[in-house]
A and B are shown apart, each in its own frame.
Chain A
C-alpha cells in the first residue's frame, strides 16, 4: 500500500525503508525519516485530534514544536505510555502505536462535540460565572465535574520503567538552534578553539535548511553546504553536537536546561539504555538562534483539518516528500507563502488560488508565482472554510473599498495560511532579557540582555538566509570573544515576510469561530468579551480567556491575541503589556527531572558498620533521618510487641547490646574548647575533669531546646561531643556558624567524627562482666570508671574510647571503636556475652527503656517550643555563666510562666491501655466543645518491667498537677471515648533513686 500523498521523489526520507505503524488502531505505513505527522499526511490523514474545549475536529497545523493541535499518545508497552506528544515531533519507528486524545467514543464520532453547540454558554469566564453558587454544590458536584473535563491526555498508570540521566556540563559558548544562524555561530565560535555546544530540538541539525531545496550558499547547493558544515563541526574536538535536544529553560547565570531524547525514536531501544538525559549547562555565553515561528491567520473556521501553516506545508513537501492535498488555497499576508505555493506547484499540486490580503503584492517571489501562472488574488481575504472533518472549500472575499465583501467559494482540500513570522524570544525572555516591540514586523524582538546572551538570525528579525548566516557568524565570534569577519554568498529569492497580525476582516455572523489559540480553544469573540467586560492588561485577559496558557505557551497565538486586543482598545501593542514566557519551552518529562533519584538512589541510604550483622540476625529496620536503624530483632514468629518485651526484660535483668553508631559526634579541640562549649551549651564545662562526661543541653537563640547529648572530656583541650542522630548536621552547622561569625577569636576547631566511630552500647547488670575479658588498659571497676566516666584503651586489640553512660537507667557502657573495626568488635562482644544472656535490642526497646526513666528524646518529647525548664532540665543550666546561646531569651518573663507546658508522666487508670502519642489532654470529659486542650502525650509505651502502660506528656502547669486526674480522649471504632482517665505523675517511672546505673 503506497501512501497516496507521498511524492515520487525528493525529501530527506528513505522510501525503501518502510515502517509500519498504527493510529487509533488502524494500520498505516510510513518511511524512514518520517514523523508521525508526515506519515499520517502522506496517508491523507488530517483529522488527528479533538480540540480541548469544543471538541472540534482538528488537523495538523504545523511541522514542529509549535504544533497546537496534533497532540497524541504513544504507547510502547503497558508501562510506557506518553500522552500529549506533538505528532510533528514524534519520529516514526517500525511498530509505533499512537492514538488520538480528547475524544469519546472515537475520533470520528466524538460526543464531547456537543460542547460546540453549547458554545454560546462556554465563553470566557464561564467557570467563574457559572459555578459560583449554590456554594454547597462546589465540593460534591462542580469540582468533580470540572476535574473530569479538565486536563488533556491520560496519565500512564504504571511506574516508569525507563532510566533517566543527568549531566552537568560547562562550555564557553552554548548555541541553541542549529538553523543557518546557529550553524554559522557554532562554526565561528568553534574555530576559536573554545568549548562549544550546539543543541537543536529536531532529530537533524539544519533548521530551515532542511526544508529548502532552492538557493545556494557560497556556491554550493544548500544541502551540500549543510552536510559540509555539519562534518566540519563534528570534526572539531571542542564542539559537541546535540540533536534531539530541547533547550527548555534559561536559568540565572547562564545555566540552560536541556533535555536530550536518546531512545524515543528507536524501534527497539537497548535494554537499560537511558531514555533521556537532562543537561544542566553553564555557559560563559549563550547564543540563541531559535528562529521564528510562523503566525496563523485569524479568520472564521480557520481550525478545520486541512488548514495548515504555509511554511509547514513546505517542510512536509521538501523534507518529508508529502503534499498536504491535491488542490490548495494559499492565504497570506506576505511573500513567504509564495515560496510554498511555487514548490508545491512544481511538485504537481494544483494551486486553486493565492489570496493575498495586500492590495498590491510585489517582489521576486510574487513575480515568480505570476510567471508560473498561479492565480493570485490581491486585496483578498479568506473569510471561511467548508467541510466537517476535512476542509472542502475556502471562502475568499475581496473588499470593494466601501466595506462590502464580494465573496466566492473555491473548492480545495487544504488551505495553507501565513500571517508572518514571530521571532522565538521565549528563552531570551526567560533569561529576563528585555523585549522591544517592532512595529515594522509586528513582533517583539530581543532588546537589552540580562545575561551574557546573544541572539542571532530570525530570532531577532533577521529573516533572510544571507542575513541569518552573517548574523550567526558575527554573533558566534563575539560570544567566543574573537570576532572575525566573513560574508556568506547566498543565491536565493528573498522574501518580504513582514505580514499581518490580528484578526482578518470578515462579514460572517457571530456563529463563526475565528480561532486565536488552537490549543485552548480561544476565539476572537472571547477576547472581545474580555475587553467588553473591562479587562485592559494582557495579563488579565490571558488569565480570563486562557489565551496562550496551554502547553504550547501560545507559540502560534500570542501575537495575534495581542494585536486583536490592541485593535479593540485602540492602543499600541506595547501598552497592552506582554505576558512572561516561562519554562519549559516545550513540556519535558518528570523522569528527566528525577534522573537517578528514585528507588535506592532517591536519597542516600546510610547504614552503620554493624548493619550487615543486624541484617543477618533478621532485624526489622526503621528510617531515622537517612539512616537505617535496627528497630527490633524478632525471634521465631515474634511480633514487635513480643520482641520488645523480651529485649526490655533482657536489659533490665542481664544485658543488652545496641548499635548506637548513628549518634552524631563532634570532636572539639583547641585551647579554647571548654570556653567554646561554655558559650554553646547551657551547661558549665570549665570544671569538668578529664575522664569525665556530662549531659549537655543545647538551646537555640530563642531559648528553646535544640539538641542534647553526652559530652566527654578526653584532654584539657579535647572534648568528644555527641548529638542526636538526626541533629548531627545542624548542630555542627550551628556551632561552625557561631565560631566563624561570632567568636572567631577562639582557638578551637570542630571535626565531625560521627562516622569515625562505631558505637556499641552494652546496657544491663552484666555489662561489666561481658566487657572485662575484652578490654585492655582500662580499669572497669566502679571506683576507677564510675557512671559518667570516659577512658581510652583497647578492646580486642582495637583502639577504643569507652564511655560509662546509660540511656536505660542500667549499668551501661558505650564502646567506641573506629568504624572499620565495628563489626568485628561487635561480634567479639556478642560471642563473649552469650554466657551472660546478652541480647541484641533495637530502637524501639531503647525508647521504652528511656521512657521508663523519663529521659527525653529531643524532637519527640520536645517540639521546638520547650525550654530546659519545661522539660525539667533546668538543673543542667550553668547559672553562674555570664552567657550561653539562649540565655537572654530564657530570662524573658514568659519563659517562667507557670502555665507553660511541662513534662510529666501519665498513668492510665486502666493499666492495659496504651495512650496514643499525640493525643490531647483535657481537664474534664464533660466540657462542651470546643474543649480546652491543656496538653498532649509525647511518648507512650507498654512497659514490660512495670507490667503496665506508661506515658510522658507536656501539660500546662504540669508539675503543679502531680496526682491530679485528667482525661485524654481517644478514638474508638464507635467514635470518641472522652472518659479515659489519666493520673499525673513524675516522668521517672522506674528506679527513681537512680541506684541501678551505679551497679
Chain B
C-alpha cells in the first residue's frame, strides 16, 4: 500500500449528527461501458447481474452497480477489493471500457427525517417513494452541480459528486438546513 497521505475533497467537513449529512466512505470506483455481449462475463466477475432496468442499482456485499445509461454502470466497491483485476481479466477480448474513477468523485450521505427536505432544495426530482424507490439511482442536479443520486434507504441517500463540486453540494445542503423543517408530502408514502 502506498505510504502517502490521501486528501479527499470533504476532509475536515463536519456537521451535526442531527443534520444527517456526512462525507461518504472511501470507495474504489470504476465506470464500466459495455455492450450486451460483455454482460455475462461482467456478471461472473462481479458476482451478480448488472442492472438492466433504467436508473436501478444492484448490490452484493460491498459491491454495488448503478445503472447510469443503457451501456453504462458506475461500480463501487471496497478499496481493497480485487474487482478491477477480476473485471479486466473477465472482459479481456470483449469490446468494453473500464475506467478507474476512484479519485474523480466523492460520496456524501444524507440521511434522517430531513433528508428529502435537504436534497429537494436543489434537486428537481420527485423523491417520493413511488417515484424514487429505494435502490433507484440517477444522474441529476443539485443546484448547479451534477450529481448521482442513489436512494439506499427510505430516509437515506448516497450522493456521488465530482470532487471539485463536493464543497458546493455540501455547503448548499448545509445552508438549507437553517430553514425550519417543512412538511413536503414527497416525504410521505402515497
Contact = CB atoms under 8 A, between A and B. Distances in A.
Contact of B144 (A197, A603, A757): A603
A237 interface: yes
A755 B100 CA distance: 11
B178 A272 contact: yes
B40 interface: no
A280 B123 CA distance: 11
B33 A751 contact: yes
B89 interface: no
A240 B116 CA distance: 15
Contacts of A196: 185
A704 B99 CA distance: 31
A168 B120 contact: yes
B135 interface: no
A608 B166 CA distance: 12
- Among B72, B97, B121, B145, max chain A CB count under 10 A is at B97
A456 B175 CA distance: 38
Given A282-B126, A671-B95, A797 B184 contact: no
Nearest to B11: A612
A896 B33 CA distance: 42
A591 interface: no
A824 B171 contact: no
A669 interface: yes
Given A167-B184, A238-B190, A755 B176 contact: no
A774 to B, nearest CB: 11
A146 interface: no
A606 B128 contact: no
A609 B3 contact: no
Contacts of A597: 143-144
Given A601-B172, A755-B162, A669 B105 contact: no
A820 B185 contact: no
A168 B124 contact: yes
B41 interface: no
Given A165-B176, A819-B103, A823-B7, A195 B188 contact: yes
B165 interface: yes
Interface in B1-43: 2-8, 31, 33, 35
B179 A193 contact: no
Interface in A596-611: 596-597, 600-601, 603-609
Contacts, number: 173
A192 to B, nearest CB: 10
Nearest to B124: A168
Contacts of A604: 143-145, 164-165, 167-168
B134 interface: no
A747 interface: yes
A821 B126 contact: no
Contacts of B143: 596-597, 601, 604
B54 interface: no
Contacts of A825: 4
Interface string A748-790: 1101111111100000000000000000000000000000000
A670 interface: yes
Interface in B92-110: 95-105
Contact of B184 (A240, A596, A605, A606): A240
Given A195-B186, A238-B190, A601 B178 contact: no
Given A609-B7, A797-B3, A195 B178 contact: no
A525 B182 CA distance: 51
B2 A798 contact: yes
Nearest to A828: B4
B104 A755 contact: yes
B102 A163 contact: no
A995 to B, nearest CB: 36
B186 A170 contact: yes
Contacts of A751: 31, 33, 97, 99, 101
A667 interface: yes
A194 interface: yes
- Size class of B's contact patch? 35 or more
B86 interface: no
B120 A755 contact: no
Contacts of A240: 182-185
A171 B130 CA distance: 12
Nearest to B128: A170
Interface in B31-72: 31, 33, 35, 71-72
Given A170-B128, A819-B104, A820-B6, A601 B182 contact: no
User: Which of the listed residues B104, B126, B145, B172 has the most CB atoms from chain A within 10 Å of its own CB?
Assistant: B104
A844 interface: no
Interface string A236-252: 01111100000000000
Interface string A272-283: 111001001010
B167 to A, nearest CB: 7
Interface in A190-243: 193-197, 237-241
Contacts of B127: 170
Contacts of B139: none
B103 A194 contact: no
B124 A277 contact: no
Given A749-B97, A751-B33, A821-B2, A238 B102 contact: no
Interface string A534-553: 00000000000000000000
Interface in A619-640: 626-627
Given A166-B122, A601-B171, A274 B178 contact: yes
B100 A274 contact: no
Nearest to A628: B164
A517 interface: no
A888 B33 CA distance: 32
Contacts of B190: 172, 193-195, 238
A821 B3 CA distance: 10
A753 B104 contact: yes
B70 to A, nearest CB: 10
Contact of A756 (B103, B167, B184): B103
B131 interface: yes
B121 A824 contact: no
Contacts of A262: 179-180
Point out which of B4, B95, B100, B127 has the most chain A C-beta atoms below 10 A from its C-beta: B4
A169 interface: yes
B4 A798 contact: yes
A169 B175 contact: no
Contacts of B104: 752-756, 819
A336 interface: no
A505 interface: no
Contact of A670 (B95, B125, B179): B95
Interface string A395-420: 00000000000000000000000000
Contacts of A272: 178
Contact of A753 (B101, B164, B182): B101
B163 A165 contact: no
Interface string A142-182: 00000000000000000000010111111110000000000
B179 A277 contact: yes
A726 interface: no
Nearest to B120: A168
A754 B183 CA distance: 40
Interface in B147-190: 162-165, 167-168, 171-172, 175-176, 178-180, 182-186, 188, 190
Contacts of A819: 103-104, 163
16 contacts: A168-B120, A169-B185, A170-B127, A596-B143, A597-B143, A601-B143, A608-B164, A612-B7, A669-B98, A749-B71, A751-B101, A755-B103, A797-B4, A798-B2, A818-B102, A818-B103
Interface of A: 163, 165-172, 193-197, 237-241, 262, 272-274, 277, 280, 282, 596-597, 600-601, 603-609, 612, 626-627, 667, 669-671, 747-749, 751-758, 796-798, 818-825, 828
Given A820-B7, A824-B5, 5 more contacts: A169-B185, A240-B184, A604-B164, A609-B7, A669-B99
Q: Which 3 A-B pairs have the closest CB atoms?
A: A749-B33, A669-B97, A749-B97
